[in-house]
Amino acid sequence: MKKLCFVALLATLGFTQQSNAQDIEFGAKAGLNISNFTGGDADRNSLVGFHVGFISEIPLSEKFSLQPELLYSTQGSEAQDVVKIKVDYLAIPVMAKYYLTEGFSLEVGPQFSFLVNDKAEYIDSDLPDADTDASSVDIGANVGLGYDLNSKLFVQARYNFGISTVVENPDITNSVFQVGLGYKF
């Protein structure tokens, strides 16, 4: 786990050193999350949330670039129409982007997320909200598509597959579909 984080950090720093500073673009993005937990055998429903944050795009060649991001992401799941489990993260995706055509890209990469807030909200009950004991670090893998609408405005759709467990017993992972709109400064 530590080796994976270290390699991702070194790769990002190495690629940044090779790019010209004037080629690096910065921007902001926001969008919709549809999240759920996978694993275990409980009946779950998806939760709708959001993500918002900053991106940078570091071109490495004409068709390939690296896009590190810093996002605030609200995720979770509803369990058996009884409780909504909400987990909020500070997420750091590091996306490798390959431009298939002008403006249209395929994106893949790891995501390292750090728990900011977690709570269980009971539906139709007087029970108070409770902590979920969710893991403080979540690691996932992203795959998605991006399209530059013009030189500044872009859209992205991505799916995050949870690799590490949110809760150990049973092994439950995050599953998040995201659609976002962004603007490069």
Residue 12 has pLDDT above 70, yes or no: no
Residue 143's pLDDT band (boundaries 50, 70, 90)?
very high
Residue 37's contacts (CB-CB under 8 Å, 6 or more residues apart) are 44, 76, 77, 85, 166, 172, 173, 174, 175
- Per residue in 43-97, pLDDT (tens digit) is 788 999 999 999 999 999 999 999 999 999 999 999 877 889 999 999 999 999 9
Q: Find the range with the poorest average confidence among 9-13, 44-48, 111-115, 144-148.
A: 9-13
pLDDT at 13: 53
What is the residue-averaged pLDDT of the chain? 88
> What's the confidence (pLDDT) of residue 3?
57
For residue 11 the two structure tokens come to 């790769």
Per-residue confidence (pLDDT) for residue 126, from 0 to 100 = 81
Ranking 4-18, 72-86, 98-112 by mean pLDDT, the lowest is 4-18
User: Does the pLDDT value for residue 27 go beyond 70?
Assistant: yes
pTM of the model: 0.84
Confidence of residue 1 (pLDDT cuts 50, 70, 90): low
> With b meaning 16 or more CB within 10 Å and e meaning fewer, what string describes 102-126?
eeebebebbbbbebeebbbeeeeee
At 63, give phi and psi (nearest 5°).
-110, -5
Count other Cβ atoms within 10 Å, centred on residue 82.
14
Return the structure tokens found at 7: 């390699």
Give the count of alpha carbons within 13 A of 162, CB side only.
21
Gap between the terminal Cα atoms of the chain: 34
Please, are residues 78 and 92 in contact by the beta-carbon 8 Å criterion? no
Q: Give residue 125's pLDDT band: very low, low, confident or very high (50, 70, 90).
A: confident
Closest CA to 140 of 114, 117, 116: 114
* pLDDT for res 22: 63
